[in-house]
């Protein structure tokens, strides 16, 4: 059962829709826009952009981590105990772990990045469905 912590369901759904747009869409975009045969340096650059400059708005660029931290703080009281929120948190942690790998010299496994980033969007959608049907 979702404990909205005094917040209305509409506010929670709006927060999820915002994070769906900012992480679910913009996290994937830099890599998805690369040609399939892009060399590792371009993939690495797109990965760094995806994680560090995920969303650019009126206040400048925001990182995936800052977007997640703000969302998590906003909905933690209402959704922190929900299995769908826990699954989303795990997916985001896997996606954010690519930040360290992007800084390493090892080649980037593009298909793994794409799968991890896609999982974030899928878990956001599951959370949205869970909250909307509650």
Distance CA 60, CA 121 (A): 23
Q: CB count, 10 Å around CB of 24?
A: 20
pLDDT in tens, 33-78: 999 999 999 999 999 999 999 998 888 899 999 999 999 999 988 9
Question: What values do phi and psi take at 38, rounded to 5?
Answer: -65, 140
Range of the domain at 74: 9-133
Give pLDDT, residue 127: 96
Residue 14 banded pLDDT, cuts 50, 70, 90: very high
Distance CA 31, CA 29 (A): 6
How far does CA 117 lie from the centroid of its chain?
7
Look at residue 2 and tell me if it is in a domain. no
Give pLDDT, residue 58: 86
Look at residue 1 and tell me if it is in a domain. no
What is the reported pTM? 0.90
Question: What are the Cα distances from residue 128, in Å, to 9, 34, 58, 82, 83?
Answer: 11, 29, 26, 12, 12
Which region holds residue 6: left if phi is over 0, alpha if psi is between -120 and 50, else beta? left
Look at residue 3 and tell me if it is in a domain. no
Structural domain count of the chain: 1
Residue 80 banded pLDDT, cuts 50, 70, 90: confident
């Amino acid at each position: 059962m979702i404990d909205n912590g005094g917040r209305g369901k509409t506010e929670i759904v709006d927060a999820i829709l915002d994070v769906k747009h900012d992480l679910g869409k913009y996290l994937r975009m830099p890599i998805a826009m690369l040609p399939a045969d892009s060399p590792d340096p371009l993939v690495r650059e797109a990965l760094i952009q995806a994680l560090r400059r995920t969303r650019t708005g009126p206040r400048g660029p925001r990182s995936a981590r800052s977007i997640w931290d703000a969302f998590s703080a906003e909905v933690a009281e209402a959704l922190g105990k929900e299995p769908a929120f826990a699954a989303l948190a795990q997916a985001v942690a896997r996606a954010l772990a690519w930040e360290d790998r992007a800084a390493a010299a090892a080649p980037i496994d593009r298909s793994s990045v794409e799968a991890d980033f896609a999982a974030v969007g899928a878990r956001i959608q599951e959370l949205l469905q869970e909250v909307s049907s509650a």
